Structure 1
Amino acid sequence: MIFYGGKPAGTQHRNHCPNCLTSLHLDNEPGDRAADCGGQMEPVAVWVRKGGEWAIIHRCRLCGKLTSNRIAA
């Protein structure tokens, strides 16, 4: 587990596989579940947001959309 400032980094909610980090293209905007694509979102990068929170950059294998998703602790 990754820690930042004595606390586990990331969120308790996960929208990606804990093993391969793959997700599904379900949202046009975070949480709206309005995407018609449904493709697999493959992890292509990791970055640290301001404040130390880690995030995964996903790219959809079908339409190519890039998104940033918080990493679960």
Structure 2
Amino acid sequence: IFRGPKAPQNPWRSNTLEWTTPVEHVHGNWPGDLPIVHRWPYDYSKPGAEEDFIPQTIPLADGEEEH
């Protein structure tokens, strides 16, 4: 835990919101406005997507379906 390189914010490239909050000890987890959810939490391997990982906070592209 205390050796080696510092882990990135989202080491597992998870889509869920808890990985979008900064690593700070603040009440409510998110400083400022709450994030807006545009996608399902398990929105992986979308046909035609450039990446397998698309966070919930990324808006849908024009013509993109929700599921």
Same fold, judged at TM 0.5 (above): no
- Structure with more of its chain in helix, by fraction: 2
- Structure with more of its chain in strand, by fraction: 1
Give the structure with higher Rg (CA): 2
- TM-score norm. by structure 1 comes to 0.24
